[in-house]
Amino acid sequence: MAVALDKLARPVRDLRISVTDRCNFRCVYCMPKEVFGKQFEFLRREQLLTFEEIERLTRTFAGMGVEKQRITGGEPLVRRGVDQLVARLAPLPGINDVTLTTNGALLARMAPMLADAGLNRVTVSLDSLDDATFRAMNDVDFPVADVLEGIEAALATGLTPVKVNMVVKRGMNDGDVLAMAERFRGTGVILRFIEYMDVGATNGWRLDDVVPSAEIVNAIDSRWPLEPVDPAYRGEVAARYRYRDGEGEVGLISSVTQPFCHDCTRARLSAEGKLYTCLFATRGHDLRELVRSEISDAELDEKLRALWRVRDDRYSELRTQGTPVDLPKVEMSHIGG
């Protein structure tokens, strides 16, 4: 079937599906405890898309051109039976890469099950190697050693290449950049640095808190010389650099200082089945109602194509150009980043 293109001629290649809005961390830049406390009402089980509904939507998106499926959250490993979902998605025609983003807290125990189910690889969020800093950032006193154990388990079970994402925030963990680079050099793990983004409305984002990717590259290059690497595919969001001594590579995701909207190929599906065509979207399109209706597969395909055809999102580019974009945004924890 024909690949779906949006108003800016961007195809849909990557589908990110949140399987839960819950998380066992309360990271200060994502789900701050003062907002997502004990009284916060998370989605009820019946509000979540079932694995059957996720499989049907993924099959439809694959017919539109989606090749890569990423399972996200919240924290996806707190969704019971998530390995069973992987087993449903991995064999679907057209899907050649099923990945999962996790905070790593449950990864040591679950890596073998995920690998057996057909998961290709994992991305682990890790913002510092300093235990005190890490515990402060996750705000549930979780030790960094347990996340490192999960990374080792992923490597041992073949969920590779393992990627580690570090969100860098000025004054909080920017002093840990070189330590992170040193820890993962030569290990086969790909470390990626992410500029602190203005996602949602609860993380207190300020431009002054952003550490530009260029500053990070310069710091690493002064210690271990780097050279740029060409993108592996259209829509790759990370600018890649390899160590000149052959000890691997790092990536930089620069949504604030170097927006990549012009080549964005991502669609996002929230845990309750709303389609978001941009990480900074103000509203989603209800697909749960569609898949729980009597709609045929052909009708579902046409409705999803119609939603993608009118997509014209380019929030980050507008923000960088100075265009006012002060709009309500969905929380990152709701659509999985």
The mean-pLDDT minimum among 118-127, 166-175, 290-299 falls in 166-175
Burial of residue 55 (CB within 10 Å: 0-12, 13-18, 19+) is: middle
pLDDT digits (tens, 9 = 90+) for 182-194: 999 999 999 999 9
- Can you name the residues that pair with 279 across neighbouring β-strands? none
Spacing of C-alpha 118 from chain mean position: 19
Instruction: Report the pLDDT value the prediction gives residue 279, as an integer from 0 to 100.
Output: 78
Give the Å distances, CA to CA, from 335 to 17, 241, 269, 271, 282: 7, 28, 7, 7, 12
Mean pLDDT of the chain: 90
Percent of the chain at pLDDT exceeding 90:
74
Closest by Cα among 149, 151, 148, 79 to 122: 151
Give the Å distances, CA to CA, from 328 to 24, 41, 254: 26, 20, 22
Instruction: Report the pLDDT value the prediction gives residue 200, as an integer from 0 to 100.
Output: 53
The mean-pLDDT minimum among 103-107, 116-120, 281-285 falls in 281-285
pLDDT digits (tens, 9 = 90+) for 286-313: 999 999 999 999 999 999 999 999 998 7
- pTM equals 0.90
Instruction: Report the pLDDT value the prediction gives residue 278, as an integer from 0 to 100.
Output: 86
Cis preceding linkage at 74, omega within 30 = yes
Instruction: Report the pLDDT value the prediction gives residue 255, as an integer from 0 to 100.
Output: 74
Q: In the chain, what is the greatest distance between 2 CA atoms, to the nearest angstrom? A: 60
With a cut of 80, say whether residue 330 has pLDDT above it.
no
Instruction: Report the pLDDT value the prediction gives residue 328, as an integer from 0 to 100.
Output: 53
- Can you name the residues that pair with 14 across neighbouring β-strands? 68, 266
Region 270-283: mean pLDDT is 88
Calculate Rg over the CA atoms of the chain: 19
CATH 3.20.20.70 is right for the domain spanning 14-335: yes
With a cut of 80, say whether residue 201 has pLDDT above it.
no
Region 147-151: mean pLDDT is 98
- Can you name the residues that pair with 295 across neighbouring β-strands? none
The secondary structure of 211-243 as a DSSP string is: --HHHHHHHHHHHS-EEEE--SSTT--SEEEEE
The angle that helices 131-138 and 144-156 make with each other, rounded to 10 degrees, is 90
Bigger pLDDT: 185 vs 337: 185
Evaluate the CA torsion angle 255, 232, 307, 331 in order and state its sign: negative
> What does the alpha-carbon distance between residue 242 and residue 210 come to, in Å, rounded to a whole number?
23
pLDDT digits (tens, 9 = 90+) for 249-266: 999 998 776 666 778 899
> What does the alpha-carbon distance between residue 106 and residue 117 come to, in Å, rounded to a whole number?
16
| 216 close to 193: Cβ distance less than 8 angstroms | yes
Region 49-62: mean pLDDT is 98
Burial of residue 61 (CB within 10 Å: 0-12, 13-18, 19+) is: buried
Region 160-169: mean pLDDT is 95
Domain boundaries, given as residue ranges, for the chain = 14-335
> What does the alpha-carbon distance between residue 144 and residue 180 come to, in Å, rounded to a whole number?
12
Instruction: Report the pLDDT value the prediction gives residue 321, as an integer from 0 to 100.
Output: 53
Bigger pLDDT: 85 vs 208: 85
